[in-house]
Structure 1
Amino acid sequence: MTGNREGQVVTFYSYNGGTGRTMAMANVAWILAASGKRVLVADWDIESPGLHRFFAPFIRPEELANAGGVIDLIREFEWATMKDTDRQPGWYERYAAVGTYAFPLRWEFPTGGALDYLSAGRQNNDYSSSIQGLDWEMFYEYLGGGQFLDALRADMKRNYDYTLIDSRTGVSDVAEICTIQLPDVLVACFTFSEQSISGAAQVTRQVRQRYEARKIRILPVAMRVDSVDSPRAAAGRLVSMQRFSGMPNDMSEAERHLYWSRMQVPYQPPYAYEEILATFADPPGQPGTLLTAYETLASYVSAGGVTRLAPVDEVTRSRVADLFLRRVSSWDDENSGE
């Protein structure tokens, strides 16, 4: 790591599950890295981690199993606070280094970009107990957890052009960390259901009103939009624009109108079967694909700095896309109990 960047921290959040949030984040991260950016993806959905599945062809299984992550960083900081020792100012910064556990994906970007992965935590028998043992009130009120998270955010910004955080859904302590304390940009993913629109809009309004001094850019993103039922999709878009009034919050009214007409992620049924990157599954340059939608999202996340996926030759694209496909092995057949 060079440690001399002033990067952006971007949280991908959804009020409820099933929006395609994690998939969108994984693809945007790949697009940014393929454009020469140094990118970190961090799995903060600690109760249901799954980000790694979108990068499975690029991660050795043993590497994932043995690597620590978000929970380990937090736990090690907590343990350090309980040691009876003299402490110098800023002592906690050594525990707020994502490079302790982040590791690079096995892919060389021709543009010089890089994509590092930070897991939710070491996936072993102690993981669930580590989560259940977290006391967020104590972490903040008695252990100085706020300054630790500030230091973690600063470390991400120094070492990466973009840090993309996959947040836990709903309203919780972890979600508030991801939506308020850490990000420069908040991508609020929602579907056109009433629960999804209302929940995401309420959270973004709170971020905007209560934490105005943070100047967080808020990007509402409609997900899983089915173009077949266009009257209902049009109604959902109109309701969303009303509920997310004034957002994105860094645009003029004309720019917002253009944003809402451009920024939606379509529903594509084949993607329901495997965790696969559209950066390899979709041919480039075709309108209406997930890849095109994610390129548009990457453009808004990067404030126009990255607008397209750097091209990959067709042979490589097809070969890598094939690595994501799920196959039923003979072992499964022999142990199915039939």
Structure 2
Amino acid sequence: MTLPTALTVRFDDARPRAMAVAYEVAAEGLDVLLVRDVLGRFALVVDDHERQVSDGPAAAWAERLTAELQHYAADRPLLLASGLFSADDLLGSERAQPDPLHLPQPGFGSVRLLDNTVVGEDWAQVSTPAPETDGSRTYRTALYGFKGGVGRTTATAVLARHLADQGHIVLVVDLDLESPGVGPLLAGRALLPRHGIVDQLVESAVDNADGLELAALTSYTPRTGQGELWVAPARGRGTEGVAYSYVDKLNRVYADIPGMGFADRLAAAVHACEEAVTREGESGRRPDVVLLDSRAGIHDIAAVTISRMCDLALLFGSDNGQTWSGYGDLFAAWRSSGQARAIREKLRMVASMIPDSPQRPMNAYLESFREHSWECFSVLYDDDVPEADTGRLLPGAFSPSLEDDSAPHHPIPILFEPGLVGLDADSAPGWQDRAFVQAAYRDFLANATLLITADPQTDEGP
């Protein structure tokens, strides 16, 4: 029988309803793990190791969860840990997260959520890259736009040359596999290495990655003479006389292999490119700055790049509804997964392609952008929290004001320049040195360089 629309529980309704039931069980002093499967259905796992649960309450909780969730209740809505074969592994899973919207209460058990998805889990697995085994530090910066067409790839190329001019060993890795572009923009097609990121992902899956040519030193000569600019493209130039089956490779790169998921495979591919620079460069120096040109959208590549692989994420956007709706969904996911505090301080908005016209002056545009950005970021900032003893509201630990120019929401500007639309580096050599390009990117280069070369972990540059 089909339920009336007004009474039907939909996907968005299921989680808060399941959480409410979980907290009823936790109020009895029991630890609860709420498990959501890949279809969105929930089951309660109750830890009864320390306290026995009788059949009556267990049946009542299962019945309540089924009534509340309808189609989004699992076939077995309640499981007791004592009856599970691998309960300790399940209850001790590092992927299970506490509910960030509720504070623990005295006498209550804990409530955690284990969310199983087909894709996208890496948005909620936030971490900071670790130093290399020799103690050296490579500072990785992701450049990401929720939507394409915001000038992210061009900005990556401009920033890469600027950082090389400062004396850094810079590696640019093109992770926009479905729409590769930064490789040819920096090196030209003839100077690309024979292999690309897709080759590393495909060949490593069958233990055949030795000897790949993954990174190439560009022909750019940095002004200081100390820097180097390398590129690791998504698509290599291939081998003469052999067809380069890019689409066939791309269709296989996202597969997990035994013992290694896609996130680990992508991280290993980037590491292999960094090692190639160290091995093949005349100086023998490893890259100290890596720029990751990420795929747009809420995609697994962007998830891994931002959440797990970078120290800084520059988020590109325009002041329109699509930008703020998209970032709003992403920020809400970080908040609900409990990762807001881990992710927010390595984010920074970039206002790209800023117009300056009588209809919309630049200053008015930036003011509007900043206000919308602050509203969007507010879900990641600390709300007032109740004091443990008195319940009195105290200000959160990280609540930047609208005017705080060092806060994640404060936009770094890039001016719109029509001369950059449809740019082809092969037919426009020296394009980055032109006056209109330097004017458009002046503030962006100054601010991004400061963020990248002043490592917040040490207050020193890389």
Q: Output the TM-score relative to the length of structure 1.
A: 0.70
Once the two structures are superposed, what CA deviation does each residue of 1:205-224 show, in whole Å capped at 9, x if it has no partner?
Answer: 54575545578611111111
The structure-2 alpha-carbon separation of the partners of 1:218 and 1:166, relative to structure 1 and needing over 3 Å to count, comes to: same
Q: Secondary structure at the match of 1:174?
A: helix
Specify the code of the residue in structure 2 equivalent to 1:20.
Answer: G
Alignment of 1:53-92 (within 5 A): 53-55=184-186, 58-59=187-188, 61-64=189-192, 67-80=194-207
Displacement of 1:21 in angstroms is 0.8
Contact (CA 8 Å) 1:189, 1:223: kept in 2 or not? yes
Please name the residue that 2:319 is paired with: 192
Contact (CA 8 Å) 1:149, 1:182: kept in 2 or not? no
- Say whether residues 1:116 and 2:230 are aligned partners: yes
Please name the residue that 1:238 is paired with: 371
Q: Secondary structure at the match of 2:207?
A: helix
The structure-2 alpha-carbon separation of the partners of 1:8 and 1:202, relative to structure 1 and needing over 3 Å to count, comes to: farther
Q: 1:264 aligns with which of 387, 404, 413?
A: 413
Aligned mates of 2:398, 2:166 — CA distance in 1: 25
Please name the residue that 1:107 is paired with: 220
Contact (CA 8 Å) 1:184, 1:215: kept in 2 or not? no
The structure-2 alpha-carbon separation of the partners of 1:121 and 1:154, relative to structure 1 and needing over 3 Å to count, comes to: closer
Please name the residue that 1:296 is paired with: 447
Once the two structures are superposed, what CA deviation does each residue of 1:12-46 show, in whole Å capped at 9, x if it has no partner?
Answer: 11111111111111111111111000110011111
Displacement of 1:169 in angstroms is 0.8
Please state which structure has a larger fraction of its residues in helix.
Answer: 1
Contact (CA 8 Å) 2:198, 2:250: kept in 1 or not? yes
- Segments of structure 1 that go 5 or more residues without pairing to the other structure are 82-93, 306-338
Displacement of 1:135 in angstroms is 3.9
- Segments of structure 2 that go 5 or more residues without pairing to the other structure are 1-133, 238-242, 279-285, 383-396, 457-462
Runs of 4+ in 1 over 6 A off after TM superposition: 246-252
Identify which of structures 1 and 2 has the higher relative contact order when contacts are C-alpha pairs closer than 8 Å and 6+ apart: 1
Alignment of 1:142-161 (within 5 A): 143-152=260-269, 156=274, 159-161=286-288
Please name the residue that 1:129 is paired with: 248
Aligned mates of 1:218, 1:258 — CA distance in 2: 13
Specify the code of the residue in structure 1 equivalent to 2:296.
Answer: T
What is the aligned length? 281
Select the structure of larger CA radius of gyration: 2
Aligned mates of 2:244, 2:268 — CA distance in 1: 29
Contact (CA 8 Å) 2:183, 2:234: kept in 1 or not? no
Q: Output the TM-score relative to the length of structure 2.
A: 0.53
The structure-2 alpha-carbon separation of the partners of 1:246 and 1:171, relative to structure 1 and needing over 3 Å to count, comes to: closer
Q: Secondary structure at the match of 1:29?
A: helix
| Aligned-pair Cα RMSD in Å | 3.6
Q: Secondary structure at the match of 1:115?
A: strand
Once the two structures are superposed, what CA deviation does each residue of 1:37-67 show, in whole Å capped at 9, x if it has no partner?
Answer: 0110011111110113432xx44x4332x52
Aligned mates of 2:194, 2:153 — CA distance in 1: 20
